[in-house]
Chain A
Amino acid sequence: MNATLAAILAVLGLTLVKATPLIYAALGGVLSERAGVVNIALEAVMIAGAFTAVAVSGATGSPLLGALAGILAGALVASVLAFAATRLGVDQIVAGTGLNIATLAAAAYGLVLIYHQPGASREVPAFGRPGETVLIVLAFVAALTLQFVLTRTPWGLRVRACGEDPGAAEAAGIDALRTRFGAVVIGGAIAALGGVYLSLAELDLYSNGMTAGRGFIALAAVIFGRWTPLGATGAALFFGFFAALQYTLQRAGVPTELMQALPYLAALVALAGFAGRVRAPAADGVPYVRE
């Protein structure tokens, strides 16, 4: 009896650990998409957050400074996408894909420049259990806060207006391009925390490819959660559960790769199941070009 209980608790605990980076990324995605910008580059934001956090923590000895730097880096990377999407009016998915490639390469390049070894950094000062717990709780706090901001504050209303109909929003005097820009950058800052968690809380280093497509699973969580912060959090927990399951089942002798594939398969199934029954913000992904 006790053994089963312990096992269940272990899985639940692991679920929280696995879900937290997804929650941060998904929240960033929700904010961005509600404003009308499809953020395919959540992966890039997480990479930037993870790498910068490690680099700064290694240099200053403070994981807290590293985390703050990671947030800034994520916001910076997101602002590249925001700029391309609002000022240049380019196709958001293509630009986001390019950003993913570029950021991954930049981080790999940074590894070589700073640590003179490809592949991974040294171990750096990281958050211990208390810090990790704070980050987990903070994720849920962020979800609740974002839900409140979107529905109850003037800025949140403006964001939603821009995502549904930027032309009408501008007719009401809102600067749609600036609002979209802001939403993407702030969303990037939130999503970067997911990367920080990966490199400074779950582990204590950065290695190439450590984000492993979590930015894309987060997007699936956004859709699955119907573009609401609370919904996306729930979806992220669901995906995190599958990732947690992977470890338990692995010990039962199921092949690693199959287990590793579980979250991605789950996302695929969710996509097929939920498609067509939910609606994105009406102007999501559509560049707004002023006449």
Chain B
Amino acid sequence: MNALLRSRGARDALVALVVVFGVGSIAMLLAHVSPLVGFGALFDGALGTPEEVAETLVQAANVLFPALGIAVAFRAGLFNIGAEGQLILGGFAAGWIGAQLPLPAFAAVPLLLVAGALAGGAWGAIPGFLRARFGANEVIATLMLNVIAILLTTYLVNGPLQQGGAGASETAALPRSAYLPDPIALVGDPHLTLAYLGTPIVVGIVLALVLRWALLRTVFGYELRAAGDAPEAAKRAGIDLGRTALVAMALSGAIAGLGGATIVAGSLHRFNTGLSPGYGFIAIAVALVGNLDPLWIVVAAIAFGMLQSGGIAMQAEAGVPREVVSLVTGLVIIALAGRRVVARRRTT
């Protein structure tokens, strides 16, 4: 227990808690709301009823996927600030393809998810390629691509690929066969509390386990971590840094794109321009709070899921503007930026 408390991860989590509650309270007071009332509404909104718990888990899943993607990139020494764009493109690909092809359920859902992963992976591969081939700074590249992704999908969904009827910026609704399997329907008993777990978060947890295994127990993970932790030594040990950068960024983008597809298939059931209220950026905080470890990231994602879903209730019931949640999220990122200087090759 002592070791746990002294561990850096525990300290970071504590700092995050202080920031959230401390700054959050100040912001609430500025809005003339008592922090007790404000946070009370937040938690009640996040965990009050089973439906609200389900919503929290959905929000958790929405940030979990991009956070896992970001963590993979960070471990390879790369800053993927473009998870937002990758997620949006993944969602778009899933939404569009899903509406085009009427397929039976067992084929439609995997196809959607794969389409999302491929689209996100391609979008992540672009900065990966620029970094590998030209040594270009992936931070600026991913930021630029975020904006381009939003503009691209907005254009497509309002113009050539618009399907939601005139004036609606969205694709057509997915056929029911393309919905993520509903656990209630699968299990058959609406009172079974396990059913409210929701498929997206389960898929996310499985993915986290797979990634953890891949990072720590495979040669692929070994080389990826070496490229991130000691690039010069890795290069001399025969690891191809350019290829690692490309693969890591593509994988990172694919995971984020998969997240976008999951949002479309699991809850939204279509793509529209309001798909993501910045999940790709919140995910940076989630990845950091989780210390770049897939399993701790799951825990962090649930915590941030609570903030997201509770935030809506907090605004509705206590009158605290939702922006407080984004504010504390940003501050948590600053607080946890940490001394972990990601060992990167010097690029422009």
Q: Do chains A and B touch in the complex (CB under 8 A)?
A: yes
Flag if A90 contacts B330 (CB, 8 Å): no
Q: Tell me, in angstroms, the Cα distance from A199 to B147 when the chains sit together.
A: 21
Flag if B148 contacts A276 (CB, 8 Å): no
Q: In this assembly, does B49 line the interface, its C-beta being within 8 Å of a C-beta of chain A?
A: no
Partner pick for A268 among B31, B145, B335, B337, CB 8 A cutoff: B145
Chain B residues lying within 8 Å of A233, measured Cβ to Cβ, are none
Flag if B332 contacts A98 (CB, 8 Å): yes
Q: Whole-angstrom distance from the CB of A73 to the nearest CB of chain B? A: 16
Q: In this assembly, does A137 line the interface, its C-beta being within 8 Å of a C-beta of chain B?
A: no
Q: In this assembly, does B324 line the interface, its C-beta being within 8 Å of a C-beta of chain A?
A: yes
Q: In this assembly, does B202 line the interface, its C-beta being within 8 Å of a C-beta of chain A?
A: no
Given contacts A105-B327, A113-B30, A275-B130, contact A97 B333 (CB under 8 A): yes
Q: Which of B296-348 contact A (CB under 8 A)?
A: 321, 323-327, 329-342, 346-348
Q: In this assembly, does A108 line the interface, its C-beta being within 8 Å of a C-beta of chain B?
A: yes
Q: Tell me, in angstroms, the Cα distance from A232 to B74 when the chains sit together.
A: 29
Partner pick for B147 among A40, A264, A276, A286, CB 8 A cutoff: A264
Prevailing SS type, chain A contact patch: helix
Flag if B284 contacts A102 (CB, 8 Å): no
Interface 1/0s, chain A 62-85, versus B by CB < 8 A?
000000000000000000100010
Q: In this assembly, does A287 line the interface, its C-beta being within 8 Å of a C-beta of chain B?
A: yes
Q: In this assembly, does B216 line the interface, its C-beta being within 8 Å of a C-beta of chain A?
A: no
Q: In this assembly, does A106 line the interface, its C-beta being within 8 Å of a C-beta of chain B?
A: yes
Chain A interface size, as a band, is 35 or more
Q: In this assembly, does A257 line the interface, its C-beta being within 8 Å of a C-beta of chain B?
A: yes
Query: How many residues of B are in contact with the other chain, CB < 8 A?
Result: 52
Which residues of A come within 8 Å of B, CB atoms?
40, 80, 84, 88-95, 97-106, 108-109, 112-113, 118, 212-213, 216-217, 219-220, 223, 255-258, 260-261, 264-265, 267-268, 271-276, 278-280, 286-287, 289
Given contacts A101-B333, A113-B30, contact A275 B327 (CB under 8 A): no
Q: Whole-angstrom distance from the CB of B196 to the nearest CB of chain A? A: 30
A selection of 28 A-B contacts at a CB cut-off of 8 Å is A88-B339, A94-B337, A94-B338, A97-B81, A97-B333, A101-B326, A101-B333, A102-B329, A105-B324, A105-B325, A105-B327, A105-B329, A108-B326, A109-B27, A109-B321, A112-B321, A113-B31, A212-B147, A216-B140, A255-B155, A257-B155, A260-B151, A261-B152, A264-B147, A265-B148, A267-B140, A268-B144, A275-B134
Chain A residues lying within 8 Å of B278, measured Cβ to Cβ, are 101
Flag if B147 contacts A261 (CB, 8 Å): yes
Partner pick for A91 among B134, B136, B143, B341, CB 8 A cutoff: B341
Given contacts A104-B326, A216-B143, 8 further A-B contacts (CB under 8 A): A91-B341, A94-B338, A98-B333, A105-B323, A257-B152, A264-B148, A268-B145, A276-B347
Chain A residues lying within 8 Å of B96, measured Cβ to Cβ, are none
Flag if A287 contacts B341 (CB, 8 Å): yes
Q: In this assembly, does B137 line the interface, its C-beta being within 8 Å of a C-beta of chain A?
A: yes
Q: In this assembly, does B192 line the interface, its C-beta being within 8 Å of a C-beta of chain A?
A: no
Q: Tell me, in angstroms, the Cα distance from A105 to B278 when the chains sit together.
A: 11
Flag if A102 contacts B148 (CB, 8 Å): no
Chain B residues lying within 8 Å of A109, measured Cβ to Cβ, are 27, 321, 323-324, 327
Given contacts A98-B330, A98-B332, contact A286 B348 (CB under 8 A): no
Given contacts A255-B159, A271-B136, A271-B137, contact A84 B144 (CB under 8 A): no
Q: Tell me, in angstroms, the Cα distance from A223 to B339 when the chains sit together.
A: 25
Closest to B138 in A: A271
Given contacts A109-B323, A109-B324, A276-B135, contact A271 B140 (CB under 8 A): yes
Q: In this assembly, does B288 line the interface, its C-beta being within 8 Å of a C-beta of chain A?
A: yes
Which residues of B come within 8 Å of A, CB atoms?
27, 30-31, 79, 81, 130, 134-137, 139-141, 143-145, 147-148, 151-152, 154-155, 159, 278, 281-282, 284-285, 288, 321, 323-327, 329-342, 346-348
Q: Tell me, in angstroms, the Cα distance from A216 to B338 when the chains sit together.
A: 23
Q: Tell me, in angstroms, the Cα distance from A273 to B134 when the chains sit together.
A: 8
Given contacts A261-B147, A275-B134, contact A98 B331 (CB under 8 A): yes
Chain B residues lying within 8 Å of A40, measured Cβ to Cβ, are 139
Q: Tell me, in angstroms, the Cα distance from A268 to B144 when the chains sit together.
A: 7
Partner pick for B346 among A255, A280, A287, CB 8 A cutoff: A280
Flag if A276 contacts B348 (CB, 8 Å): yes
Q: Tell me, in angstroms, the Cα distance from A20 to B156 when the chains sit together.
A: 31
Partner pick for A98 among B155, B324, B337, CB 8 A cutoff: B337
Flag if B339 contacts A276 (CB, 8 Å): no
Q: Tell me, in angstroms, the Cα distance from A218 to B135 when the chains sit together.
A: 19
Chain B residues lying within 8 Å of A223, measured Cβ to Cβ, are 137, 140, 348
Flag if B151 contacts A257 (CB, 8 Å): yes
Q: Tell me, in angstroms, the Cα distance from A84 to B324 when the chains sit together.
A: 21
Flag if B334 contacts A95 (CB, 8 Å): yes
Chain A residues lying within 8 Å of B155, measured Cβ to Cβ, are 255-258
Flag if A271 contacts B281 (CB, 8 Å): no
Chain A residues lying within 8 Å of B337, measured Cβ to Cβ, are 84, 88, 90-92, 94-95, 98
Closest to B23 in A: A102
Chain A residues lying within 8 Å of B31, measured Cβ to Cβ, are 113
Flag if A106 contacts B148 (CB, 8 Å): no
Q: Whole-angstrom distance from the CB of A210 to the nearest CB of chain B? A: 14
Chain B residues lying within 8 Å of A271, measured Cβ to Cβ, are 130, 134, 136-137, 140-141, 144, 348
